[in-house]
Structure 1
Amino acid sequence: MKFNKIGIVIVAFLSTIQIYSQEILTKKEALEITLKNNFGIKIATNNLEIAKNNSNILNTGFLPTATLTSGADYRRNNQSLIFTDRNTGDDAEISGSGIVSKTYNASLGVNYTIFDGLGRKYNYKQLLETYNLTELQARETIENTYLQLFTIYFQIARLSENKDNLQKALSISKNRLKRAQYQYDYGQSTKLEYLNAQVDVNNDSITYISAKQQLSNAKRGLNVILGVDKETNYIVETEVAYNKLLNLADLEEKTIANNSLLKQNEKNIAISEFNIKVNQSNYFPTLGFNASYGFNRTENENLINPFGAKLITSDGLNAGLNLTWNIFDGGGTKTRLANAKIALDNQQILLEQQKANITNNLKNTWENYKNQLFILSAQEQNVLTTKNNFNRTEERFKLGQITSVEFRQAQINLINAKTALNNAKFDAKLIELQLLQLSGDIMNVKF
């Protein structure tokens, strides 16, 4: 007996050390790690940087272009010149070999489009709206990551509490097995009672081991969302608080104003409107300005022509305007413009469709949320009832007033009630987060 007491103390001490050695991953810490390391968020951030670069003034065509060109040419030729004497009519030939000629040139040219039918202006505005659209897409990615994070975080919390409940149930079953063994050894019960208790211990052990495995798998899944590689020997917070101030009218108003999908559709409409104006600009002429400064130098060696120049240089400034008007392009502009108007109409139809779908989804989720809160309240009462029933059944079992089958049934009822309560508790919170995501408020959740 003394040895057993010492063993119990040691086991309790080791369990305490294990609990305190486990790292607690809070919801706030999990969110901070995710926002920093999540792969999807990193990609969304890079896409936003690309959109920012595209919307820069350097990519709009508003600035002039400057081109510097230079070159050198070397020639070595054999030359032959024939002159005719005007007085005598006789021909005279002069020839030479290895005649060298060197030419150097350089020029700086500037081109600028003064007017292009306002195409650059609307293209620039279109790029700005594309950047805004990319911002909303990044926001949607973050919102989805929020929901993914807390879905699996609360799944871990659910599995942790279920595992604890199963561990307590296993402990009760083991105590029952010891009791059945003592009773059988002293002839107070049949072996059937002992065998039933042993089967229940084995079943509870299998269920407990399965719950531990599910918990480990869920933690590894959370690591993927966190974007880190860490051990699964940590615990999470299991407390859940609900937003009692939610109401359907406010949620509907916020959804229409802030839902990320609806905002993206609005930006797509703006982009389509600017696309129409960009295509319309092709009907107008284009006026451009160009200017250049050039320098040329030619050096001739071994001249055979007495009238030839040994050194020729030239430099100067050239400038001009050019007007281009594509009067008829075979109908290409007209076709593109018609298609752009149809695309705009499609975007407007899509926005109305999204509004109807999201509003319907919001109402369904709201009703589900209210029902889940009622279920949660009912399950809390069920746990109190089944716990009270189990305590009474346990006392009667110890007094030998009921059978082990009745005791086992009361135990199973308690386990099922606690499991149902955990499911209701975390399901209600996840539905609440879905409501906040639909209304564009999930990133404002405080933990």
Structure 2
Amino acid sequence: MRFRRFTKSTSRFFSAPVLMLALLWAAAPPETAMAAEVFTVRNVPVDATAAAAASARDAALEKGYVDAYALLMQRLVPNQDLPKVPQLTSSQIANYTVDFSVARERTSTVRYLADITYRFRPDEVRRLLRTNGIGFAETKSKPVVVLPLQETGDTAVLWEDGNDWRDVWSRRDVSDGLVPLIVPLGDLSDILSISAEEVAAGDLQKLSGLAQRYGAGSVLISRAALRGDVEGGTAELELNTTRFDTDGTSQPFLAETYRQETGETLEAFMLRASDALEALIQESWKASNVIQFGVQSVIEVDVPLTGLGDWVKIQQRLRNVPAVVSSQVKAISKQQVDMSITYAGDEKQLSLALRQNDLTLSLNEVLVWELRLIGADNPVTGGSTMPSSPTALQNDASQLQGERLVPGSSAPINPDTGVQPEGVPSTGGTSGAISPQPVE
């Protein structure tokens, strides 16, 4: 890497106060608003009855702590590790919270009802999970637009009447997981932006336009085909779900058939199927973003700049990447910053997390790692907001055992020797070097 020392020749580009501010900001980033949001559980419903209103309120708040803690663990921890989560009392859970706020409070002489928002302490919760050997994810995905398409005979309906699959998704509660799900309103703008035929055909341009309008990173098309006798309780719902990313790529996510249970109404049947699909979306994201804090690695990158504004934006976005432990500036000029980034987890997770914050990491023409803003001047939007399929999670996990991957490359590095296989271009010198550092 082309390291530059801090000399008068470089300091002339920025005034001393501005340069010092930029360096201090990078050296000691505060807790971010995004991290605080991930560790906030909103609108927990509480309802308690007691001999007096004050006692009912105390009982409701205690149960609210327990419910909020359970919801937070479900958000962060993969299902397979949930049994390992320690069971805490309400008073113990209170020690892990910053505060709480109350909305829609209703009381009587013996009853208390409210919706309570609990704000947890990120560092304390992380420490609790690590101490108990529990893997967790806290990288929040860009929103995903869900387009429920229902097949009726040889045609498919989206915005039109008769789409029971979309009606069910529209009535669902707002997702509280790490993957925000958006079901379009179906208003005139939506209807004019894309038709059922264009969705069924996978029109990438129209789908990308819809995703961008909703501020999403991808679109999930879920095609539902209802077969059998609903009244007789023997119906089947065949789902074929495909993910389309804003970079123009698409991959199948899920193909599954759900069977109606005895006495189950059509609405309850479809709601159960939608619950299962959302749970799979959330679980897939968590499983692919579990941060491995046992080993930290360092990657050295160049950050091309068009002005100080770029540097400020990059620092702000880096703070929103949970895997980034710290960053250190090596050299700075008007055109470029040379820096090292210390991160937890593996390189694929780092690259994916960076993209959720509109940052991209790639090799330039001289095989040096570059960190850039994704935006109008650099419209790189590749990288999914979800794994391609639930099966891909198992494949990724098995491939990562015993090897590390260089960002932007499918070539593994032997963790013991640090050597790439033959035929893989070397980055040369120290640029792009990734060195594991065991954490004590």
Q: In which range does the TM-score fall when normalised by the shorter chain?
A: under 0.3
Q: Which protein is richer in strand relative to its size?
A: 2
- How high is the TM-score relative to the length of structure 1? 0.19
Q: Which has the higher contact order (CA 8 A, sep 6+)?
A: 1
Q: Which protein is richer in helix relative to its size?
A: 1
Of structures 1 and 2, the larger Rg is shown by 1
